[in-house]
Every structure is written in structure tokens, then in C-alpha cells.
Amino acid sequence: MVTFKNILDRAYTTLFTDYKLDKLVQVDEQAFYDFLGGFLVNSTDIFDSCLTDLSYHEETRVIKKDNKLITVTDYVFDNELTSKEIYILSLGVALGWYKKQLDDVTQFKLHLSNKDFKSYSEQQNLQRRLERLGAMEEDLSEEIQKYQIANLNKLPYFGGA
């Protein structure tokens, strides 16, 4: 049984870190998983060539927290996923998170005093971040292609299901 939490943990522990998310998981773990879960939903849409059906369902459970009973919703994939499929979904999560960070205008506010240096630094910062985004997109595309080649016999065009 593969849960959203399994994939989000793999993405967060191996592909990216963020001090704000570190704080969020300490303050409200459920909010942390809900936030990253949106990126995972998007990742399932990006990975439309997955050979395993990526449908999922909700499961609720009751836990005790701070001497109160609360209901927690977990999202569980309907089918078992291979490690490679989990990795590709994790890459999609990391890519979505990075794009969101890139779009965060406050990230470009460098607190430097010299106007020319600040302008140049912001331009350099943006250029490097765009290059990193392009590399991440290439990695995701390459991993999907490797996945398809490894499963060529299962693809419909080549005689598979």
C-alpha cells in the first residue's frame, strides 16, 4: 500500500529541503502533507504515461493528539507502485515545489545596498534558478523515458495491454 505520505517523505528527504517546510512540519504535520499533497496530485497528472493506474482514494482514521481525538485523512494509491514510479512522482513533486519557489517574488529581494550590484545579482540569481528548473524538467523527462524503455513490451503500441 503506497500512500501520499510515502512519496512525499521520499521527495522531501532526498530531493529538496526548505526551512519554512521544516518549521511547518514541526508545527502542523497534517498541514505539511496537505500542502505537498497538491504537488503530488499535479505530479500524477504529469506522469500520464505511467503503466500503473495512479488513481487513489481517501482513508480516514482517528488519532489522539493533545488529549483530543481528531480525524486524519490519508490518501492511498489504489495500486502498488514500483520504486521507479514512486521516484518519478517524487521528481514531479520536487519540480512543482521548485516552480512555486521560483514564482515567489520575495525570493528575488536581495538585501544588498549597491543598486547596480543588487540588480546584477538578482538577474544572476534568476538565471541560475531558471537553469536549475530546466535541468529538473530534463531529469523528469529522462526518467519517464527510461521508465518507458524499460517497459517497452508493456506499452500498447508495442503489443502490451
Question: Residue 112: its pLDDT value, please?
Answer: 44
pLDDT in tens, 122-131: 677 778 888 8
* pLDDT at 90 exceeding the cut of 70: yes
CA-CA distances (angstroms) from residue 4 to 9, 45, 46? 8, 14, 16
CA-CA distances (angstroms) from residue 49 to 45, 73, 74, 118? 9, 28, 25, 43
Question: Residue 44: its pLDDT value, please?
Answer: 96
Buried b or exposed e, range 90-102, using 16+ CB within 10 angstroms: bbbbbbbbbeeee
pLDDT in tens, 12-57: 999 888 899 999 999 999 899 999 999 999 999 999 889 999 999 9
Q: Tell me the CB-side half-sphere exposure of residue 21, using CA atoms within 13 A.
A: 18
pLDDT in tens, 93-123: 999 999 888 877 555 555 445 554 455 566 7
Q: Tell me the CB-side half-sphere exposure of residue 34, using CA atoms within 13 A.
A: 7
Q: What does the H/E/C string look like for the chain?
A: CCEHHHHHHHHHHHCCCCHHHHHHHHHCHHHHHHHHHHHHHHHHHHCCCCCCCCCEEEEEEEEEECCEEEEEEEEEECCCCCHHHHHHHHHHHHHHHHHHHHHCHHHHCCCCCCHHHHHHHHHHHHHHHHHHHHHHHHHHHHHHHHHHHHCHHHCHHHCCC
CB of 105 closer than 8 Å to CB of 126: no
Question: Residue 110: its pLDDT value, please?
Answer: 52
Question: Residue 150: its pLDDT value, please?
Answer: 85
Grade residue 65 by pLDDT with cuts at 50, 70 and 90: confident
